[in-house]
């Protein structure tokens, strides 16, 4: 006796929302609406400050101070951006920060990913000891002065490499990557590679790395944000104006305009307006590249890279 074909409509689509189900009950509707309201509230809380900074950077500071720019810019006031982009040292600092970010992120990944993969292997001798040793360094370290003395001893102060080397390893990122490798790389995949005669290096390069793009993208983004926002290292380790990163130059630009605002007889009202808008403009200028980078990496955060890695 032939089996009766199932009606596609009888099959529950697990990807459908409660609001899209015709047979959803009242409790399902209430639950779904509550979830959507909470999600929109969270998005509004997170996204609105960024949106406000952008519209405030284009608005008249007087209108911003009086609360007239809640949803849209009021007037077009671009003198803040003009002052920022007229600053000659800004572009050189932008180039420095791009170099520090790209080179530092590459070095960070070259060190973090192999270390994390190595200590994630259960057959590694002293695995637990190495992991514990790394975790201890998260809570106990030499401090700023010993680090400064060490960098000076190696001749790295006042060079481009000091900003790259000083942040090239993060134990926090190593622990994140280690957890991914330990929980997401199937043992069957490693055994199959070993049976096929692959060496440990071949397994890591040809099998592990291609299916680990998600964690590589996440760690790379963490490292890039850290290098891009590196303000304290640039202030402590660099003395040459040509090597300053962007964050130090933006702080200097803000302080210059704040000092000009305090000079008597130098157009205090106009200087105050310009200084207020420069503050918002600096936030936009310093964060826009990273905000543009994130959407390009977003697909790696949601992609299920392990789908199809093990068949059968």
Domain boundaries, the chain: 23-77, 80-302
The CA-based angle 194-197-201, given to 5 degrees, is 75
Give the pLDDT score at 113.
92
Task: Give yes or no for a contact between 96 and 246, defined as CB atoms under 8 angstroms apart.
Answer: yes
Please state, in angstroms and rounded to a whole number, the distance separating the CA atoms of residues 85 and 123. 56
The DSSP secondary structure of 2-36, one letter per residue, reads PPPPPPGGGS--TTS-GGG-TT--HHHHHHHHHHH
CA dihedral 226, 228, 232, 233 (to 10 degrees): 90
Give the pLDDT score at 15.
43
- Spell 117-150 as b/e; 16+ CB within 10 A means b: bbbbbeeeeeeeeebeebeeeeeeeeeeeeeeee
Please state, in angstroms and rounded to a whole number, the distance separating the CA atoms of residues 177 and 133. 16
Give the pLDDT score at 247.
84
Q: Can you read off the two tokens belonging to residue 201?
A: 């290096």
Residue 285 DSSP one-character state: H
Give the pLDDT score at 151.
87
Closest by Cα among 311, 125, 121 to 203:
121
CA dihedral 225, 227, 229, 235 (to 10 degrees): 170
Please state, in angstroms and rounded to a whole number, the distance separating the CA atoms of residues 33 and 25. 12
Task: Tell me how far the alpha carbon of residue 253 is from its chain's centroid.
Answer: 25
Give the pLDDT score at 298.
64
Superfamily of domain 80-302, CATH level 4: MetI-like (1.10.3720.10)
Residue 207 DSSP one-character state: I
Residue 70 DSSP one-character state: S
Overall pTM > 0.75: no
Give the pLDDT score at 33.
87
Residues of the chain with pLDDT under 50: 1-20, 264-266, 304-312
Q: Which residue has the tokens 């060490």?
A: 150
| Helix ranges restricted to H, 121-212 | 127-139, 144-153, 160-165, 171-184, 187-195, 200-203
Give the pLDDT score at 26.
74
């Amino acid at each position: 006796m032939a089996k009766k074909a199932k009606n596609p409509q009888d099959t529950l689509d697990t990807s459908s929302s409660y609001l899209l189900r015709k047979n959803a009950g009242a409790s399902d509707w209430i639950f779904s609406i509550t979830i959507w309201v909470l999600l929109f509230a969270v998005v509004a809380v997170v996204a609105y400050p960024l949106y406000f900074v952008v519209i405030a950077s284009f608005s008249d500071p007087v209108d911003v101070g009086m609360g007239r720019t809640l949803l849209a810019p009021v007037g077009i006031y671009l003198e803040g951006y003009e002052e920022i982009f007229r600053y000659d040292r800004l572009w050189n600092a932008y180039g420095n920060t791009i170099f520090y970010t790209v080179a530092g992120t590459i070095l960070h990944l070259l060190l973090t990913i192999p270390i994390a993969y190595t200590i994630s292997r259960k057959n590694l001798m002293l695995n637990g000891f190495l992991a514990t040793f790394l975790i201890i360094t998260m809570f106990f370290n030499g401090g700023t002065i010993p680090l400064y003395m060490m960098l000076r001893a190696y001749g790295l102060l006042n060079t481009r490499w000091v900003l790259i080397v000083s942040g090239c390893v993060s134990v926090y990122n190593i622990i994140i990557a280690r957890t991914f490798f330990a929980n997401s790389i199937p043992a069957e995949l490693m055994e199959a590679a070993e049976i096929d005669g692959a060496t440990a290096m071949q397994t890591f390069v040809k099998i592990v790395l291609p299916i680990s793009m998600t964690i590589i993208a996440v760690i790379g983004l963490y490292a890039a944000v850290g290098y891009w926002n590196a303000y304290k290292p640039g202030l402590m380790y660099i003395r040459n104006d040509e090597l300053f990163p962007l964050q130090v130059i933006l702080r200097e630009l803000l302080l210059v305009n704040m000092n000009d605002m305090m000079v008597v007889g130098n157009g205090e009202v106009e200087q105050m307006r310009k200084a207020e808008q420069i503050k918002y403009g600096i936030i936009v200028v310093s964060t826009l590249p990273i905000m543009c980078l994130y959407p390009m990496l977003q697909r790696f955060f949601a992609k299920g890279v392990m789908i199809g890695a093990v068949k059968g």
